Structures are given as C-alpha cells and as structure tokens.
Structure 1
Amino acid sequence: MHADEALRAFRLDGAVAAITGGARGIGRTTAELFASVGARVILLDLNREAAQEAAQKIGSSATAHSLDVAKESEVDVAFETIVRQEGRLDILVNNAGTAIRRPTTELSLADWQRVVDVNMTGVFLCARAAGRVLTAQGSGTIVNVASIMGLSGGGLYPNISYQTTKGAVVNMTRALAVEWARNGVRVNAVAPTWVDTEFIAALKADPDLIATVERLTPMGRLATPVEVANAILFLASPAASIVTGHILAVDGGFLAQ
C-alpha cells in the first residue's frame, strides 16, 4: 500500500455527517476536522446562534440546525430534514452532553432526569433516527462520545448522573454495534479523559483539582479537543472499516493504571 492510499482511508469525501453538540468544544472541532477531509457537516445544537456561527466559520460545507436531543419529535424531524436536504446520511457523531456535579444525597430527581434525558435518552434518540437511515441504505457509522467516567467509578468529585449515563452509552454502543453489524453499520465510541474545553470550566477554576487530574494521568495533562476529534475521525473513516463495538479511551493512560 502506498502512503497516499493509506491517507485516503482517513478521508470522508462526499460523506454527510451529523454532529450533535456541534457548536463548540469537541463537537465543533470534530466538524472542522471532518470538513477539512471532505465531509459535508451538519451541526446540531441547542444553541442555534452558536451553531450558525460555527457553520459560517467552517464554510460552504457546513450547515446548522437547532436541536434539543432530549425531545423525540425534534430529533426525528431533524434527521428527516437532513436526509431530505442532503439526500443521504453517512455519519452520526453523538456528542451532545451535560453534567450536574453534586453529591448524590443532594442531587434532585429533576437534575438527575435532565442528565439522563440528554446523555442517555438523547444518544438513543439520535442513534435510532440515524440508524433507520443507515440500516436501510446498508452503510454508515455512528461514533458516540462516552467518557472514562463511563468505565470508572471516578472518585475525584461526586458526579453520579454523568457517570451512570456515560456507562449506559458504553453498553448502548456495544449493543447497537451487534444489532446493526449485518446491516453494514458500524457503531463505536470514544471515551475521553478531561478535555480542555468550556465543558469543564468550573473544574478548571479549582487549580488543585486539575493538578490532581494531571498527577493521576500518566501523560500528565488534559486532552485537547483536536486529540479527541482525531480519534472520532479514525472511527468514522474507512480506516476503521472492521472496527465496531469498540470503546476507544482517549485518556493519556488514565484507565491503564
């Protein structure tokens, strides 16, 4: 295999990719990366203005739609609109997520439910809507954004709803991969460590906590959004054509200890 042929395996020329939570952070970086390797990207985000601004900066290969992933009717309409406007769908990146970090004994049912609605039900709803399209056409891939907290009990601070829902995403990924493999659809997930984005702004305000994270991470630092986006690109690309049901930790060795 020549080098140019190997590199082509990481391109997404002509692919249509929907990215939830695409307005900022990992989602936006992934959209920028996908567009740079030939994909047409649709940024789906609760914040319409931020999504539109991100799409404008990416250029003509990007569009934006408002979406609350926790609302079934909105999800179904969004994916029907994508297929109607683009003619197809090839990739879903299930990135939208939220966290409410409180001690379990102080966590209200409403706050628990909000995290469940976005992090677990939202992933299911988007995967189901995309899966209807992908299984019918006999090809496509889904990459879910889980977390190392879905593979670990954590312990640095209480975050029960986040840890529980990300654990659900891990096994949802495996279950969908098995169910849809014969339909030509691959389903994988990335499990990032703490990523240097707005999502952990409150945590970054505590320098002692970040120092502890860095000390417990063999590589000694947080991940960057582009490092996670690179892993998502691998799993979404033809380079990973035989990979399904896999949870790829992007964690600087955190889980290897």
Structure 2
Amino acid sequence: MQDHEGGGAVSLAGIFGLSGKVAAVTGAGSGIGLAAAQALAAAGAEVVVLDRAPVASEILASIRGDKPAAALVMDVADEAQVEAAFAEIVARCGGIDILVNNAGLALRDAAVNLSLEAWDKVVAVNMTGVFLCARAAARHMIAAGKGGAIINTASIMGLSGGGLYPNISYQTTKGAIVNMTRALAVEWAPHNIRVNAIAPTYVRTPFIAPLLAQPELMQRIEAMTPLRRIAEPHEVSPAILFLAGPGAAMVTGHTLPVDGGFLAQ
C-alpha cells in the first residue's frame, strides 16, 4: 500500500506508533481513561495518568509500555492544580505531545429539580476542566514548537437530546465539548495541534453503575443501539489511539462517535 503521494509503504507504526511521545490522560483511574492509557502505552508513548485520587499501584502497573507510567493527583476543575500538574509533566518527561481530556462527572436529575450547585459542579468538571487542561497542554505544545494532539471525551448525549432519563447538565456540557473541539482545532491549527473528540455510547464502567443497576433501562438502551449492546472500554480506546497518532495527521475538529450505531437511526 502506498501513501497519498505514492511514496513509502504505509505501516502500522506509521499509523498508530507513538514511540518517543509523552501522553497525559485525565480521569485515568478506571474506565475509558484507563483503557486509553493502556492503549497509548502499548503504542509506545510515555504515559502520565491524572486523577482526583491516587491511582492504585496495580492499576498503574497495568499500563505497560516502554517506560513505566507515572501518576499525578489533579482536580481538572482547579486551575492552579492543572497548571502545576502540566508543568510537572514537562519537567519530568521533557514535554507533552498528547492529551486525552477524559475526566467527567454526571449528576442526573430532572431540570426543574437540578440545583445550581449541582449544575456548577458538572460544568466545572466537564466543560471548564476540559478547557483548562487543553489550554495548559497547548501552551507547552506551542512553546515546544512540535505540534501535538488533544482528544476530548464528549458523548452521544452531546449530539442528541437523550430522552431516556433527564441529564441536562451532562448533555449540555458534552455538547459544549463538541463545539469547543471545533473552535480549538481552528485556533491551534497554525501550531500543528490537532484537536478532536470521541463521542462514546454507554460504556460498561463505574461511571454508569447507577444505570447498569436498572435492567429495564439497559434493555431499552440496547434495543435503541443497532449493535444491540453497550460498549466495553477497550472498544473505545482504539479510536483515541487513532486520533492521537500519525495516521490522523489530517484529522482535526472532528467528533467521532463510538456508539454501535446509536446516532445513525
């Protein structure tokens, strides 16, 4: 197989290889974030995992790559913590090439009952936190002059009105991530920083434990999904790996659903 200019042969390393790259993953203690960290490490990246709580040693050990994964405690909604964490990543690793903006929060309630406090908590993590981390990473990427890749975790709920249960703050913030991704992609393109997002369906993680405990609701969700099931974390991480790697060199400003066909209907 030839590349688009008829040059050298395309290889898996040329599409997915991340050797020599430094990747930071927020919300990496479990679920999609952990699966993303494992995939990035397997592709050769040096991975730094970021979470509000210390990441357990056995979880950190599961992120196997050429270099041992490192872990930092960081609240994405705290500007000072974000700036300090990214400065430490650069000091430890010599730079940052990839950010997976994955930390998220859901406080599910009817809009008429949702308190302003609950609304603000979700906005602080899902929207402001994504911005703070993207801004911090981009500042270091721009200073280094080597470009980079940022992958935000949106949701199918950011591309649809939901309707299965009320979740207005989550849906609103995930929709904001979709357009934030476009805007940052355009602004940072001159610096060769690509900004994309994934929009997963329901994924079997601790994040949706309250939903998994409702068999009738899960049956409805599966019935609405053409593939007739929810996703597993390892089925989402390859999309992140692709968007982070050289094979996506011409992909920016895009939100990629990983949804089993949910949005196709």
TM-score by length of 2: 0.94
Q: Distance in 2 between matches of 1:150 and 1:226?
A: 21
| Alignment pair present for 1:228 and 2:236 | yes
Partner of 2:202: 194
In structure 2, the residue corresponding to 1:223 is in which secondary structure?
Answer: coil
* Alignment of structure 1 residues 127-166 onto 2, 5 Å: 127-138=134-145, 139-166=147-174
Partner of 1:13: 19
| Alignment pair present for 1:76 and 2:95 | no
Partner of 1:92: 99
* Alignment of structure 1 residues 7-86 onto 2, 5 Å: 7-8=12-13, 9-50=15-56, 52-59=57-64, 60-86=67-93
Q: CA RMSD in A?
A: 1.4
Q: Distance in 2 between matches of 1:61 and 1:184?
A: 28
- Give percent identity, aligned residues only: 59
Stretches of structure 2 that go unaligned for 5 or more consecutive residues are 3-7
Partner of 2:5: none
Do 1:34 and 1:41's aligned partners in 2 also have CA atoms closer than 8 Å?
yes
Shift of 1:57: 3.0
In structure 1, the residue corresponding to 2:179 is in which secondary structure?
Answer: helix
Q: Distance in 2 between matches of 1:233 and 1:56?
A: 20
Q: Distance in 2 between matches of 1:191 and 1:35?
A: 22
| Alignment pair present for 1:179 and 2:187 | yes
Shift of 1:46: 0.4
Shift of 1:4: 7.9
Q: Distance in 1 between matches of 2:128 and 2:236?
A: 23
In structure 2, the residue corresponding to 1:155 is in which secondary structure?
Answer: coil
Q: Distance in 2 between matches of 1:61 and 1:49?
A: 14
Q: Deviations over 1:192-248 (max 9, x none)?
A: 000011111100100000000000011111011011101000100001000000000
Q: Which residue identity lines up with residue 178 of structure 2 in the other structure?
A: V
Shift of 1:37: 1.1
Q: Which residue identity lines up with residue 161 of structure 1 in the other structure?
A: S
| Alignment pair present for 1:214 and 2:214 | no
Q: Which residue identity lines up with residue 71 of structure 1 in the other structure?
A: D
Q: Distance in 2 between matches of 1:98 and 1:4?
A: 43
Shift of 1:24: 0.6
TM-score by length of 1: 0.97
Q: Which residue identity lines up with residue 69 of structure 2 in the other structure?
A: A
Q: Which residue identity lines up with residue 255 of structure 1 in the other structure?
A: L
Do 1:39 and 1:61's aligned partners in 2 also have CA atoms closer than 8 Å?
no
Match of 2:251 among 203, 218, 243: 243
Q: Distance in 1 between matches of 2:37 and 2:149?
A: 15
Q: Deviations over 1:71-130 (max 9, x none)?
A: 000000000000011001000000000100011111111111000000000000000000
| Alignment pair present for 1:114 and 2:137 | no
Runs of 4+ off more than 4 Å: none
Q: Which residue identity lines up with residue 32 of structure 2 in the other structure?
A: I
Structure with more of its chain in helix, by fraction: 1
Partner of 1:101: 108
